[in-house]
Structure 1
Amino acid sequence: MTIYPNITETKNLIKEIVSIPSPSGNTSKVISFIEEKLNELNVKSYRNRKGGLIATIPGKNNEEHRMLTAHVDTLGAMVKEVKSNGRLRLDLIGGFTYNSVEGEYCEIETASGNIFTGTILLHQTSVHVYKNAGDVKRNQENMEVRIDAKVENADDVRALGIEVGDFVSFDPRVEITNNGFIKSRHLDDKASVAMLLQLIKRIKAENIVLPYTTHFLISNNEEIGYGGNSNITPETVEYLAVDMGAMGDGQSTDEYTVSICVKDASGPYHYGLRKNLAKLAMDNNIGYKLDIYPYYGSDASAAIRAGHDIVHGLIGPGIDSSHAFERTHEDSLINTEELLYHYVQSALVKRG
């Protein structure tokens, strides 16, 4: 008999997904991977015009729907300039700082599909040459990609097929520790994508008939602000984004519980849904924390901004060092999976 949550299976699935490069704007490979996983579960899905993936599980009530989302796009970069020294200047995709990727291995994918490896470095890296290397600003002007190829000038680089607009993805450096931690780039939000797949697998394995028709949207443009703002059926009443809980000074979120967001930069999330989620956690002995993320937006807030008349909420595992080299613990994954499991079987928020 299969036991859920199967945390080893979840962590291994996260490892697979974070290892597929998918910066916003170049997500077809990872969407194909998720599509195949859904096919294995005999769950039909389709791609929207933006390239996201939508799967639907019919429920008893087909007049009122739910939608759950997680995004598979990640932070990344594009080639901004092929420099005269044979290196590449970058333009960032998503909200993060250059210092968070300094020294990171990366891949450059050309328009023809060829892959070249490289390293993101400060131009003035060598302390034997640049006296003030430690004081130089980490910004677009000073950061560059050193390509793992024999190139000495821009013509050499272009001869490889590398050009402005090529996508650059970061090595996730994923590692699962023996004491329950998983650390990697792009746990935001591929950890949540894995958990939605595990939830769908559990629904199918246990032959659960959901109370409401439920849609699962794997969005692919969240990091640039508009991932989950479309393809929401008119019948959809509740919309739950599953995304990371951000940790730091003044935050209550940790790496061991599920975080329930009460407010982010877009404003408060739906009060009734938030209270329902907290009650489900309490009733089922699920560890949770309520929190506010001051510099944060989600697929759910994008949907609200797009004008959809929905009840919106946000939950997710606690992630340390968001938009850098991230980490969470299996306890947080377990608590998030359990809250999702009970949520999709619960009643909708009452109107009024």
Structure 2
Amino acid sequence: MNLSINKEYLLKTAKEILSFDSPTGFCFDIMKTIAKRAEDFGYDFETNNKGCGIITIKGKSEEKVIGLSAHVDTLGAMVRSITSSGTLKFTLLGGPIVPTLDSEYCKIRTREGKIYTGTFLSTSASTHVYADSSSKKRDPENMEIRIDEVVKSKEDVDKLGICPGDFVFIDPKTTITESGFIKSRFIDDKGSVACLMGLLELFNREKIVPNYTVKILVSTYEEVGHGASYIPTDITEMIAVDMGCIGSDLSCTEYDVSICAKDSSGPYDYNMVTDLVNLSKKNDIKYAVDIYPFYGSDVGAALRGGNNIRGALIGPGVHASHGMERTHYNAFENTIKLLYAYLTK
């Protein structure tokens, strides 16, 4: 397949999207950017009541409507309580690998919009003080957030305006290497959102019209299970574009587009999966078919929500999911190629 994918645009978009703070439930700022990009390309954008974005690409036929989805919400944390010594206890948003948070920088946003910086730390943070500094379990009960302000008590923190329920943004540390690797937290699933923006750029630049109308759902609550529980009622089939897993008993790499045959919610539509495999073979797209036992997608949420659709799941291969993740530009390119092939077949 000879597609003129704009690599510079795709990587620049990925870095911008990955740099936004958008933990699940707090996606307001990033959705404004997604809306502007879609509208600049000439596509209609609307928002549903819970903040998910819907981008419409008119097709040659409206006989059916194909849905694509990717989620812009990420893992994160929220202030649970304030300790007597002026540190913060936290509760998780989604399922980050908690030991990877130890010594990670973060920001705390108050309800009034004030931002403070801080660091996730073990409550036994110093090897010179605590015998269990290395062995203590890293979990929310044994960790806290140290605020970069002069605070010595709960009352001092109260004066800053920090309260339980305030969002905590985890530093994504996004880096793109000269060799084409994208290293960052939250490539799951902002990498896929970048792929969909790259697809829009391609369609707009090359004046490509898909065979059928396409509606792209950019969901905001996927990490807590209900991102696409409601979708436009005219969607008849849907592909969730989400990260492919890499590891034991799996064939996907950081260079592939993953095609998931089954995850924890059950098998994906057999005929759609077969189409995706055959299109990959026909167009020499580097792909892998795998089964993900500890995984759920927006398609699963849509089906559980009672939507009458067929569904599939594809996405770029991502290493070390829910920790310090990494993928490669080739996985983005292969994902876009497969989406293009499916929408124009």
Report the TM range for the smaller structure's normalisation. Answer: over 0.9
Other-structure match for 2:263: 264
In the alignment, is the contact (CA less than 8 A) between 1:103 and 1:120 conserved in 2?
Answer: yes
Question: Could you give the per-residue CA deviations for residues 205-238 of structure 1, whole angstroms, max 9, x where no partner exists?
Answer: 21122211110110000000010121322x3221
Matches of 2:42 and 2:61, distance apart in 1: 21
Which runs of 5 or more structure 2 residues have no equivalent in the other structure? none
Residue type of the partner of 1:236?
A: I
Other-structure match for 1:166: 166
Matches of 2:317 and 2:175, distance apart in 1: 17
Other-structure match for 1:67: 67
Identity %: 45
1:152-301 matches, within 5 Å, as 152-233=152-233, 235-301=234-300
In the alignment, is the contact (CA less than 8 A) between 2:231 and 2:307 conserved in 1?
Answer: no
In the alignment, is the contact (CA less than 8 A) between 1:7 and 1:333 conserved in 2?
Answer: no
Residue type of the partner of 1:316?
A: G
Question: Could you give the per-residue CA deviations for residues 304-340 of structure 1, whole angstroms, max 9, x where no partner exists?
Answer: 1111121100000000000010000111111111111
Matches of 1:90 and 1:304, distance apart in 2: 32
In the alignment, is the contact (CA less than 8 A) between 1:74 and 1:189 conserved in 2?
Answer: yes
Matches of 1:240 and 1:53, distance apart in 2: 16
CA RMSD in angstroms, aligned pairs only: 1.0
Matches of 2:97 and 2:177, distance apart in 1: 27
Q: Secondary structure at the match of 1:239?
A: strand
Measure how far apart 1:157 and its partner are. Answer: 0.8
In the alignment, is the contact (CA less than 8 A) between 1:76 and 1:170 conserved in 2?
Answer: yes
1:1-352 matches, within 5 Å, as 4-233=4-233, 235-346=234-345
Residue type of the partner of 1:41?
A: F
In the alignment, is the contact (CA less than 8 A) between 2:6 and 2:202 conserved in 1?
Answer: no
* Matched residue count: 343
Residue type of the partner of 1:345?
A: T
Other-structure match for 1:349: none
Q: Secondary structure at the match of 2:25?
A: coil
Matches of 1:140 and 1:327, distance apart in 2: 25
Matches of 1:251 and 1:143, distance apart in 2: 33
Question: Could you give the per-residue CA deviations for residues 231-285 of structure 1, whole angstroms, max 9, x where no partner exists?
Answer: 322x322100000001111111110110000000001111100010011111111
Measure how far apart 1:102 and its partner are. Answer: 1.1
Q: Secondary structure at the match of 1:90?
A: strand
Measure how far apart 1:63 and its partner are. Answer: 3.0
